[in-house]
Amino acid sequence: MNCRSEVLEVTVEGRQVDEAMLALLHTILLHRSTGKFHYKKEGTYSIGTVGTQDIDCDFIDFTFVRVTSDELDRVIRKAVGEFKDALSNSGSDGMGQISLEFYQKKKSRWPFSDECIPWEVWSIKVNVVNLANEQERQICREKVGEKLGEKVINIVEVINRHEYLPKMPTQSEVDNVFDTSLKDVQPYLYKITYQITDSLGTSVSTTMRRLIKDTLAL
Amino acid sequence: MDNDLSPQDKKDLDKFIKFFALKTVQVIVQARLGEKICTRSSSSPTGSDWFNLAIKDIPEVTHEAKKALAGQLPSIGRSMCVEISLKTSEGDSMELETWCLEMNEKCDKDIKVSYTVYNRLSLLLKSLLAITRVTPAYKLSRKQGHDYVILYRIYFGEVQMAGLGEGFQTVRVGVVGTPIGTITLSCAYRTNLAFMSTRCRDSQFERTAPIMGIIIDHFVERPFGNVGHMHPCNYRAPGEEEGGAYAGVEDSQEVCTTSFSTSPPSQCVLTVSKAHLKTPKPVLMDTLKVPVMGLGFSHQLYSSRLSYQPPTLGAADLCHPATCSAAHPHQMAVPGKEGGVPQVPMQPYHGAQAEHGRRPSCPSSDTAHHIPATPSSSGEDAETCSRSSDLKSASPSDTLETTFTRKVGAFVNKPTTQVTTASLDLPFAAFAPRAYDLEENDPMVHPPDSPATSSPLQGSLHSQGSSETGEQAQEDFVMVDFKPAFSKDDLLPMDLGTFYREFQNPPQLASLTIDVSAQSMAEDLDSLPEKLALYEKNIDEFDAFVETLQ
């Protein structure tokens, strides 16, 4: 199956990394989450309601919408926090990439473990810059806000192509498609990974490693 | 055309499209109210949330939308459009965006109505939620209330984008194919806010007008930072108490069947706005009556964040020659915040809007307490109240008319009156109400006859606006004196602001001024021997001084 892959690139200042990532990841997850499924007899199900929330960024002139789910927010924040720490610890020129991958689980027979088959991957490339003075920071605030707006439009454009989405599962299959661990919303199964590019460009090797790993996993 | 579609499916599809249209309008309007929206997720389906999204329904908005649709659905050539415009306190308005929900002929016969179409419509609504926060009008709408407000208008029929100026951009939110056509949702937004900036140039502000600057320099550097955030946000959605409950019933694939109740009709909303700029014209009241051609009319959109209103502001020209600077709102905002329109019988938001057609976000009646000043303030406000009720009573009779009234508010320079109160040592004395002799001429109290026009709403909104404000355009924007509150210019020759500016930083050290030092270095060296001789002469004095220190 073909996995859809989208790449978004942003250039931000150090303080803005968290919010920029949150904004984009939450925008994607907003579209890739539904309400909780409640299965009833005869194979029918009803769907819960998803609330939304406007979040203003402190370091960027931007407001984004996310699903109202504190649990999901915590998970995403944690992942973004780890990414940011890795970025700052790498001591490199501040380039990295965080990926949000939606996958489906396919049960395999023993002794093989379940396969994770991605059907959509969003990669956000980040380039961190350092700014010298407050004036530049102010300009950066606005510029990054505009850029994020453009990225949101890109995301919406891709999503509205209505390309492949996993079929709605039966009750027994729901955990292969959706993440049912949260109590208020139900996003598609996803995982967040990141990699930091250091100045030597060793990202090539990490990419190779990932390629090999993925091939073997399949 | 409908042969392939079962009657049940057709019915469902129509219902989906109808509610989709209503929800679209709700999302757009709520996004322009000027405050953050937050709704809760609920894991157990209540069945009343269309498209599985918690989107509140503001009854007035639903009512307007239903009125505009008049029982029809978007179809080929007939689109549902929501127009967002900005209206300044001087009455100038400018279209910012037009959101269009269109239908075209391209059918997707194979799609499952009750399931795929529904889910895709839900996805489209989510996209709309995201995109409404991205267009430039969002930031403008978050800062509304002080000098401008954001209005919306719903109409059905041909899309009109002429008012967006040149170079407007379009963003497509998404498309959903259905068996009867493809639904497209898009937004065309203005990129050229030039009319604002030309005003600024024409005016004689001594510093970049902070008032207008709030609007203009959204896209340029803003000297005074974000003055918009000071307004409180206590918009309460009226939808909960009244209005449409959409009961849903789930069956085989969570088809939402609904029964909905009609929400109470809303009155025409008045625009009551304040000017903070000095204008020389004594009568600056404009009543802009725009006949509505049955299909749409503008509503004023704002949450309670609205209305910074200076405490004793009546509707009209307050004589105070002071002007507002950006520093001003900070100082003034505290009393002003509760300012609202004091004498309106204090009802919650929806009540206020529905019944009195006033600014819905009229906050509570505590205002009166915060106004330290004059007893005639209550007179002012009663006048305001009567004006609004005048207008309100006018409007139901002209069933399809909307009245836009422009008030000239605080800081308007009335050359005639009231320097006397300024000499009173009261804070806000300068905002003491204006002379009552103006009341006879006050068009708010005696509304002028509405101009008869048969042009469509769109045309009239703009032509009237421009003609009426055209000639005043130049005069409206006259120099604004920077006069911070609490400053009296009888004590010092300079005002507080100038004083502050001058003495904000310590004076430059003489020795550090470059041009001086270049010359004086040589002079210093030359004068050294003389100085030394002088000191030697006075050596006894210095010694005596040192003795005293020990």
pLDDT digits (tens, 9 = 90+) for A67-104: 999 999 999 999 999 998 888 887 667 788 999 999 99
Contact A53 B36 (CB under 8 A): yes
Tokens 């300012």 locate to B339
Helical H runs in B116-235? 118-132, 136-142, 194-202, 210-216
Q: Give pLDDT, residue B514.
A: 58
**Partners of residue B97 in chain A, C-beta under 8 Å:** none
Residue B76 CB-density burial (10 A; 0-12 exposed, 13-18 middle, 19+ buried): exposed
Q: What is the pLDDT of residues B288-312, one digit of tens each?
A: 333 333 333 444 444 434 333 334 4
Higher pLDDT, B193 or B105: B105
- Cα within 13 Å of Cα(B289), Cβ side: 20
Q: Give pLDDT, residue B21.
A: 92
Query: How many angstroms separate the CA atoms of B214 and B15, rounded?
Result: 43
Sheet containing B401-406: give its strands across.
B271-272, B401-406, B286-291
Query: How many angstroms separate the CA atoms of A76 and B513, rounded?
Result: 55
Share of chain B above pLDDT 90, in %: 9
Q: What is the pLDDT of residues B373-408, one digit of tens each?
A: 344 434 344 344 344 344 333 333 433 334 343 444
Query: How many angstroms separate the CA atoms of B356 and B538, rounded?
Result: 86
The lowest-confidence range among A170-179, B226-235, B348-357 is B226-235
Q: Does residue B129 carry a pLDDT above 70?
A: yes
Chain A residue at shortest CA distance from B171: A153
Most A CBs within 10 A among B27, B32, B36, B41, hence the mutation to make, goes to B41
A46 touching B (Cβ < 8 Å): yes
Q: What is the pLDDT of residues A59-72, one digit of tens each?
A: 999 999 999 999 99
Give the gap in angstroms from C-alpha B471 to the nearest C-alpha of chain A. 36
pLDDT band at B332 (very low <50, low <70, confident <90, very high): very low
Query: How many angstroms separate the CA atoms of B14 and B9, rounded?
Result: 8
The lowest-confidence range among A105-114, B144-153, B336-345 is B336-345
**Partners of residue B44 in chain A, C-beta under 8 Å:** 36, 38, 48
> Which of A34-38, B43-47, B105-109, B110-114 holds the top average pLDDT?
A34-38
Higher pLDDT, A37 or B221: A37
Query: How many angstroms separate the CA atoms of B514 and A157, rounded?
Result: 59
Q: Give pLDDT, residue B351.
A: 38
Q: Which of B38, B45, B130 sits opposite A156 (nearest CB)?
A: B130
Kindly state the tokens that stand for B54. 């918690």
Share of chain A above pLDDT 90, in %: 43
**Partners of residue A157 in chain B, C-beta under 8 Å:** 172
Q: Does residue A197 carry a pLDDT above 70?
A: yes
Q: Does residue B265 carry a pLDDT above 60?
A: no
pLDDT band at B456 (very low <50, low <70, confident <90, very high): very low
- Give mean pLDDT, residues B515-527: 68
Chain A residue at shortest CA distance from B256: A46
Q: Give pLDDT, residue B431.
A: 55
- Whether the CB-CB separation of A151 and A8 falls below 8 Å is answered with yes
Query: How many angstroms separate the CA atoms of A48 and B516, rounded?
Result: 77
**Partners of residue A162 in chain B, C-beta under 8 Å:** 120, 123, 176
pLDDT band at B461 (very low <50, low <70, confident <90, very high): very low
Q: Does residue B446 carry a pLDDT above 80?
A: no
Query: How many angstroms separate the CA atoms of B80 and B100, rounded?
Result: 6
Chain A residue at shortest CA distance from B130: A65
**Partners of residue B250 in chain A, C-beta under 8 Å:** 40, 44, 46
A50 touching B (Cβ < 8 Å): yes
Higher pLDDT, B247 or B78: B78
Give the gap in angstroms from C-alpha B44 to the nearest C-alpha of chain A. 5
The lowest-confidence range among A24-38, B52-66, B343-357, B427-441 is B343-357
Q: Give pLDDT, residue B519.
A: 58
Q: Give pLDDT, residue A122.
A: 93
**Partners of residue A61 in chain B, C-beta under 8 Å:** 139
Give the gap in angstroms from C-alpha B325 to the nearest C-alpha of chain A. 22
Higher pLDDT, B355 or A119: A119
Chain A residue at shortest CA distance from B42: A49
Residue among B349, B351, B152, B315 nearest B232 (CA): B349
Q: Which of B123, B129, B139 sits opposite A65 (nearest CB)?
A: B129
- Give mean pLDDT, residues B144-150: 84
A97 touching B (Cβ < 8 Å): no
Q: Give pLDDT, residue B368.
A: 37
- Chains A, B: CB contacts within 8 A come to 130
Q: Does residue B223 carry a pLDDT above 50?
A: no
Q: What is the pLDDT of residues A119-148, one digit of tens each?
A: 999 999 999 888 888 898 899 999 999 999
**Partners of residue B37 in chain A, C-beta under 8 Å:** 52-54
- Give mean pLDDT, residues B506-512: 74
Contact A159 B44 (CB under 8 A): no
Q: Give pLDDT, residue B277.
A: 36
Q: Give pLDDT, residue B221.
A: 39
Contact B36 A65 (CB under 8 A): no
- Give mean pLDDT, residues B2-17: 80
Taking residue A183's Cβ as centre, other Cβ atoms within 10 Å add up to: 13
**Partners of residue B133 in chain A, C-beta under 8 Å:** 54, 63-65, 152
pTM of the model: 0.56
Q: Does residue B543 carry a pLDDT above 50?
A: yes
Contact A68 B40 (CB under 8 A): yes
**Partners of residue A63 in chain B, C-beta under 8 Å:** 36, 133, 138, 142
Contact B39 A51 (CB under 8 A): yes
